[in-house]
Chain A
Amino acid sequence: MHHQHEGKLPTRNIPIRDFVSDTVCIPMGMHLGAPSKPCVNKGDLVKLGQVIGEPVGGLGLPVHASVSGEVVAVEERQLLGAAPGMCVVIRNDFADEWVEGIQGYGNVETVDPAVVIPAIKAAGICGMGGASFPTHVKLSIPEGKTCDTIILNGAECETFLTADFRLMLECPGKIVDGLRAVMRALNVKRGVIAIEDNKPEAIETMRKAASGREGVEIAIMRTKYPQGGEKQLIKAVTGREVPSGKLPIEVHTIVMNVGTAAAVADAVIDGRPLIDRITTVTGCVQRPANLRLRIGTIIGDVIGECGGFSEEPGKIVFGGGMTGLCVPDTDVPMTKANNGIVVYNVKDARSVDESPCIRCGRCVEACPIGLDPYRIKHYCDKGDLEAAKQHHVLDCILCGCCSYNCPARRWLTASFKNTKDAIALEARRKK
């Protein structure tokens, strides 16, 4: 699907700049897995990079203080989900003093490969492209599986977002270092940085940074949403298809976001935990920008930094136009996975009414997986989970292409998401 809604122009050529706010509210549940357990109390003084949340369970990750200062609250706050989540609120003293004991492991080409994955876990890194799966778990290859290719996702096919693009332009070395660290840790010989052909500057910069680095290559891909989807990327780079219901490791591949790779480089070289990330702020704001934001920055502060709203906001979305998540209000904090804040005006935010399917076939043509969205929607509307499953609703990657293209404005993707959730819930109940 080539579409006109790319929306990257306002921020494409704006360099990354730092923004640090007075207060941060750091959620304990930013990664996929059980939320971390707060290990500081109200009134404590914390330093930059200090662990404030301890990992819980198999997918657990530590959470670090993203500013130095006083803990003013440890309480539940409204986040993106339905139920409030535990957060640690810190008032910034702007000293930016690092906690003791932060120590790097040195050059990624000479470091002991065995330290890489523990360093990634200690730095609290999870997938920064949106899914927020703990990176050390992703890099732990299950018994009997092998990996021969690591793909760094620099496609950034999502609409509006330019965070990965700016990162590739401004920190290309770090991205390659992160890739090399992971390649050495897993003893993988091939690392591919995949970039869409609408980012020629990024291709050029990354190619320079990768030249002379062992096993690192750049793959140029056609600009076509959802090219950066994990399954599409693997197919485009290796020609392999991930079997239905399986993980990429099944086809000997691991995919990571370029932002995650840069965070890995920081963790290995400097021992620096993940305390900030690059986020595109665009849409109805006075000065769209690419900001390096501390984790836990309240989005109201971010919008203030960008000059405030340019018209009355109707909807604020974390992420791009095709897959982003709506925020309930401007008090919600930034998480590790948040690559964009997009503000829509009231007109664009208004919900569209479904009308009857006219059987135009656009959803079938748009689906990158090869589903029959119109038919699955029929079963979803009837509540027939079994039939929806038989028509492979579980293979849906929720890219939004069918809904985007539907002339009848049907909420295809939304009903697939609900159905997938309902099927998962039923499976859990049966257990």
Chain B
Amino acid sequence: MKLYLSTAPHIRSEADTHVLMRDVLIALLPTTVAGIYYFGLSAAMVIAVSIVSCVLFEYLWQRMTKQPVRIYDLSAAVTGLILGLNLPSTAPWWMPVVGALLAIVITKQLFGGIGDNFLNPALLARAVLLASWPARMTGATAYALPTCWSGADAVTSATPLAGYEASTLDLFLGNIPGSIGEVCKAAILLGLIYLLVRKVITWRIPITFLAVFALLSALVGQNVLDELLMGGVLFGAVFMATDYTTSPMNPRGQFIYAALCGILVCVIRNFGAYPEGVTYAILIGNIVTPLIDKYDKPRLYGRLKEQKKEGTVNA
């Protein structure tokens, strides 16, 4: 009889990295389906090219650098799907490929691979694409109208944030121009519920993010509901700001980070040069994360203030 020896614990939770990433993919499914429903096959193509190139780049890089191949942890697939959902359905085929290169090779692998990147890979890719090809990303011709579009203005149009009018219901259901994944808020909320139920994420980051953003929007005199439903703020708060690697580890730090993101989105939208600020807001949050983690420590057991006063604790 051969017995294994190991140190405790001898049991592990079911949720390993693969299971968590699979859950994120499942949570993104409603959003993906809604995007394809509204924008048609071209949206499906963009998403497919994005996922395939992300996984392929990860595989090739890990083979090239003689690292264990970890594509089965599905993290590259998640990055690929999120990147695809961040692009307009009119994006040419090479844009998701360039995005995948930026996300997987430049942002993730060059900084050490899964867990070591300091920026959200899909977000950085989106930011670079946005800066390099602004017209193709958000210009007047970039956003195709949903195929079931019923608005009065029948020509292609810019995002609702750029002075576009749409009903609140259309904003909620996604019957508006925009990036593939950000339009259907109902689908994003379904995904959020799934993530919370499966305990993949906690409520702290998305809810704090949205609450702070809503509060500030109200303070500067905007229509809060429309602000929440326009642009990528919901998608960003649920699927991008909650990225494990680039958000703080401790609960209090997560509140600080999420609040910062919410504030930045509101500031950029209302006082910045861009109509939309979710990408940059979260990227700045990512950059601040190591700082938050450095100074925000959980309270240690056995270090009560009152007890210190009593002098029972030797410093």
Q: Is B301 in contact with A370, judged by CB distance below 8 angstroms? A: yes
Whether the Cβ atoms of A371 and B3 lie closer than 8 Å is no
Nearest 7 interchain pairs by C-beta: A400-B9, A321-B11, A370-B298, A414-B7, A360-B244, A361-B249, A349-B4
Number of chain A residues close to chain B: CB under 8 A: 68
Cβ of B17 within 8 Å of any chain A Cβ, yes or no, is: yes
The residues of A with any CB-CB pair to B shorter than 8 Å are 3, 5, 159, 231, 235, 240-246, 250-251, 313-317, 319, 321-330, 342, 344, 348-352, 355-361, 364-365, 367-372, 374, 392, 395, 398, 400, 403-409, 411, 413-414, 417
A148 to B299, CA, bound (A): 27
B6-47 CB contacts (< 8 Å) to partner A: 6-13, 15-17, 19-20
Within 8 A of A (CB), among B38-86: 70, 73, 75
Known: A317-B10, A328-B3. A357 touches B115 (CB 8 A): yes
Residues of B within 8 A of A324 (CB): 8, 10
Name the B residues within 8 Å of A392 (CB-CB): 300
Closest to B308 in A: A243
List, sorted by A's number, 28 A–B pairs whose CB atoms are closer than 8 Å. Answer: A231-B302, A240-B307, A243-B302, A243-B314, A244-B301, A315-B5, A315-B10, A321-B10, A322-B10, A326-B5, A326-B10, A330-B1, A342-B10, A356-B115, A358-B17, A358-B20, A358-B114, A359-B245, A359-B249, A365-B251, A367-B298, A371-B300, A398-B8, A404-B11, A408-B16, A408-B17, A411-B7, A413-B9
Residue B141 interfacial (CB < 8 Å): no
Verify A313–B12 contact, CB threshold 8 A.
no
Q: Is the CB of B8 within 8 A of A244?
A: no
Given A328-B3, A355-B73, A321 and B9 contact (CB-CB distance below 8 Å): yes
Contact B312 A344 (CB under 8 A): no
Give the secondary structure class of B's interface. loop
What does DSSP make chain A's interface, helix, strand, loop or mixed? loop
Q: Are B19 and A407 in contact (CB under 8 A)?
A: yes
In the complex, besides A244-B313, A364-B298, A409-B16, 5 extra interface pairs with C-beta distance below 8 angstroms are A324-B8, A357-B115, A358-B115, A371-B300, A407-B20
Complex CA gap A241/B115 in Å reads 34
Q: Range of interface residues on chain B?
A: 35 or more
Contact check, B3 vs A326: say whether CB atoms are below 8 A apart: yes
Contact B301 A356 (CB under 8 A): no
CA distance A357 to B298 in the complex (A): 19
Contacts known (A231-B301, A361-B249, A395-B302); A355 close to B7, Cβ less than 8 A? no
1/0 per residue, CB under 8 A from A, across B105-121: the answer is: 00000000111100000
Given contacts A324-B10, A404-B11, contact A314 B300 (CB under 8 A): no
Cβ–Cβ contact A243 & B312, under 8 A = yes
Which of B3, B247, B313 lies in contact with A329, CB distance below 8 A? B3
Q: When A330-B1, A350-B4, A374-B249 are in contact, do A3 and B13 touch as well, CB less than 8 Å? A: yes
Contacts of B16 in A (CB 8 A): 407-409
A330 CA to B9 CA in the complex, in Å? 20
On whether the beta carbons of A360 and B8 are closer than 8 Å, the reply is no
Q: Provide the bound-state CA to CA distance between A408 and B20, in Å.
A: 10
Q: Note all chain B residues with C-beta closer than 8 A to A326.
A: 3-7, 10
Given contacts A364-B249, A407-B19, contact A395 B7 (CB under 8 A): no
**Chain A residues within an 8 Å CB radius of B245:** 358-359
Known: A315-B4, A368-B301. A159 touches B11 (CB 8 A): yes
In contact, B10 and A364 (Cβ under 8 angstroms) = no
Name A373's closest neighbour in chain B (CB-CB). Answer: B249
Q: State the Cβ distance, A145 to closest chain B Cβ, in Å.
A: 11
- CB atoms of A356 and B302 under 8 A apart: no
Task: Specify which chain A residues have a CB less than 8 angstroms from the CB of B9 in the assembled complex.
Answer: 321-323, 400, 403-404, 413
B61 to chain A, nearest CB (A): 14
Q: Does B297 contact A (CB under 8 A)?
A: yes
Can you name the residue of chain B whose Cβ is closest to the Cβ of A417? Answer: B7
A368 neighbours in B (Cβ, 8 Å): 301
- Are A244 and B300 interface neighbours, CB within 8 A? yes
* Cβ-defined contact, B17 with A403, below 8 A: no
